[in-house]
């Protein structure tokens, strides 16, 4: 459509609001003045804008992921599995967006990044508190990372609460038990601040769900949503690792981690081990 046609089309829409003297605008609703002024390049380098925006966008998507997972946990606790499935399906779609973000960041070359990397100091994605909260919500609890956030007392308290909260997998296992499937009491009464370890009774319960999915349809669908989330999470981790390797090779990360070496190790972490194991035995 030509510019002239656009103007004519807009002019024909007599009901379009143009006087916002006493009305809220789109930009005000979204607080775009704050969002779009939050990109502060410390080096002044052209490509630092890309680096900042990619990470800010990822943090916004993680905020939505946390919002949906926490809502799903609440729904599962109340045996509203259909609503939980809807929330978790949205999590997976959101994960696909943050995976694709690595494709944009990978346009940053090693030489370009080195020109502003020192401006980051010790700041690193390793310190992302929302990423830690996502891990906590999925059941991977690591107490040593809490020290990173001691600088901010309110944030530190928020992380502690997330660390001590029941995870998505914990409430899913509780739902198995409420449906009449046998789960060891040691699992149902476990310390939820510890990383989850696989359990034979949980594996047997999921096996029963998959073998009789028409009887346990909602639990079966919930299980598949959990597998989707872990699958996408691991794909995000892999793309993260390969993007870092592409840009800095095996240099130490700005936050002091081993960089690619650390990112390769976390690829072996699992959130829902039994849901992967049963595929071999079905």
The whole-angstrom separation of Cα 160 and Cα 150 is 11
Q: Which residue has the tokens 């639990």?
A: 219
Q: Give the tens place of pLDDT for each residue, 46-55.
A: 999 999 999 9
Tokens of 168: 């998505």
The whole-angstrom separation of Cα 167 and Cα 229 is 14
Q: Residue 223's domain spans which residues?
A: 47-113+125-248+259-279
The whole-angstrom separation of Cα 147 and Cα 224 is 35
Tell me the mean pLDDT in the region 14-40. 91
Q: How many domains does the chain have?
A: 1
- Whether 17 is covered by a domain: the verdict is no
- Higher pLDDT, residue 258 or 33: 33
Tokens of 32: 């775009």
- The CATH number given to whatever domain includes residue 232 is 1.20.58.480
- Whether 118 is covered by a domain: the verdict is no
Q: Contact 138/271 with Cβ under 8 angstroms?
A: yes
Does 136 appear as a known binding residue? no
Task: Please state the pTM of the whole predicted model.
Answer: 0.91
Does 54 appear as a known binding residue? yes
Does 98 appear as a known binding residue? no
- Whether 4 is covered by a domain: the verdict is no
Does 173 appear as a known binding residue? no
Q: Give the tens place of pLDDT for each residue, 59-101.
A: 999 999 999 999 999 999 999 999 999 999 999 999 999 999 9
The whole-angstrom separation of Cα 202 and Cα 223 is 12
In sequence order, what are the residues at sequence separation of 6 or more whose Cβ sits closer than 8 angstroms to the Cβ of residue 133? 66, 158, 159, 162
pLDDT band at 258 (very low <50, low <70, confident <90, very high): confident
Does 117 appear as a known binding residue? yes
Does 55 appear as a known binding residue? yes
Does 90 appear as a known binding residue? no
Does 16 appear as a known binding residue? no
- Whether 16 is covered by a domain: the verdict is no
């Amino acid at each position: 459509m030509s510019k002239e046609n656009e103007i004519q089309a807009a002019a024909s829409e007599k009901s379009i609001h143009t006087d916002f003297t006493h009305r809220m605008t789109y930009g005000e609703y979204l607080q775009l003045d704050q969002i779009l002024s939050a990109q502060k390049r410390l080096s002044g380098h052209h490509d630092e804008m890309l680096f900042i925006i990619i990470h800010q966008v990822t943090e916004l998507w993680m905020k939505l992921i946390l919002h949906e997972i926490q809502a799903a946990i609440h729904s599962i606790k109340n045996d509203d599995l259909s609503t939980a499935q809807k929330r978790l399906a949205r999590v997976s779609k959101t994960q696909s967006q943050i995976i694709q973000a690595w494709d944009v960041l990978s346009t940053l070359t090693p030489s370009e990044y080195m020109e502003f990397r020192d401006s980051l100091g010790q700041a690193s994605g390793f310190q992302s508190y929302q990423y830690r909260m996502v891990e906590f919500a999925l059941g991977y609890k690591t107490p040593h990372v809490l020290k990173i956030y001691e600088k901010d007392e309110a944030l530190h308290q928020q992380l502690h609460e997330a660390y001590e909260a029941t995870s998505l997998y914990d409430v899913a296992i509780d739902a198995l038990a409420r449906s009449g499937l046998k789960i060891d009491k040691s699992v149902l009464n476990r310390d939820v601040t510890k990383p989850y370890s696989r359990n034979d009774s949980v594996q047997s319960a999921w096996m029963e769900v998959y073998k009789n999915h028409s009887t346990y349809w909602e639990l079966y669908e919930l299980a598949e949503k959990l597998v989707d989330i872990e699958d996408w999470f691991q794909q995000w981790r892999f793309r993260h690792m390969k993007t870092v390797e592409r840009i800095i090779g095996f240099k130490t990360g700005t936050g002091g981690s081993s960089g690619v070496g650390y990112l390769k190790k976390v690829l072996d972490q699992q959130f829902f081990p039994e849901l992967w194991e049963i595929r071999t035995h079905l």
